[in-house]
Amino acid sequence: MLILLFGIFVLHITSVILLLVATIDNAWWKTELLSTDIWGSWVQINGQWNYTDLPSTYPSGYLQAVQASSILACVFSGLGLVVFMVQLFTLPKGKRFTFSGIFQLLACLCIMIAASIYTEIFHSNEGSSYGPCFIMAWMAFVLTFISCLIYFILRKKTT
């Protein structure tokens, strides 16, 4: 059981790190001369990368929804990790992982909302590709969902 708990802890830490990198780093959309995230753009001019604001053509309401959902996913996943550690030592078997699973489910939904809005609204008509942080956001969605399922399955185990 100790190995299982360690594996769950590593899975949870991995999902938190992926969420943080996807939210903070600057590679949701990439071209050869442009790298854009949910906070700003980096444009290469004369071999130098320069930070610029996001284009004014971006719908600000959707952009704020993506930003808020990404931040909430990080917060919920971090809280889920703290609650996981606290529940190991305070709650009886059979009730341990309920709140951790709920926080992971909320993180999963938040990052799914952020990535889905970004997919549908931004860059849908442009001819380049999504960057590694966008892919990390979807990987974090999968990992938080798996983590959530594991927490809910372990909740029912009493041995």
Query: How many Å apart are CA 38 and CA 27, to the nearest integer?
Result: 9
CB 85 within 8 A of CB 27: no
What values do phi and psi take at 28, rounded to 5? Answer: -85, -30
* Structural contact between residues 122 and 58, judged by C-beta atoms closer than 8 angstroms: yes
Alpha-carbon torsion angle 4, 10, 13, 19, nearest 10: -100
Higher pLDDT, residue 137 or 4: 137
Q: Can you tell me the distance from the alpha carbon of 116 to that of 73, in angstroms, rounded to the nearest whole number?
A: 14
Give me the pLDDT at residue 127, please: 67
* Topology given in CATH for the domain delimited by 2-31+59-156: Butyryl-CoA Dehydrogenase, subunit A; domain 3 (1.20.140)
Model confidence over 85-121: pLDDT tens digits?
888 878 666 567 888 889 999 999 999 999 999 988 8
**pTM of the complete model:** 0.87
Q: Convert the pLDDT of each residue in 42-88 to its tens digit.
A: 999 888 989 988 888 788 899 999 999 999 999 999 999 999 888 88
Domain boundaries, the chain: 2-31+59-156
The 3-state secondary structure of the chain, one letter per residue? CHHHHHHHHHHHHHHHHHHHHHHHCCCCEECCCEEECCCCEEEEECCEEEEECCCCCCCHHHHHHHHHHHHHHHHHHHHHHHHHHHHHHHCCCCCCCHHHHHHHHHHHHHHHHHHHHHHHHCCCCCCCEECHHHHHHHHHHHHHHHHHHHHHHHHHCCC
- pLDDT band for 159, please (50, 70, 90 cuts): very low
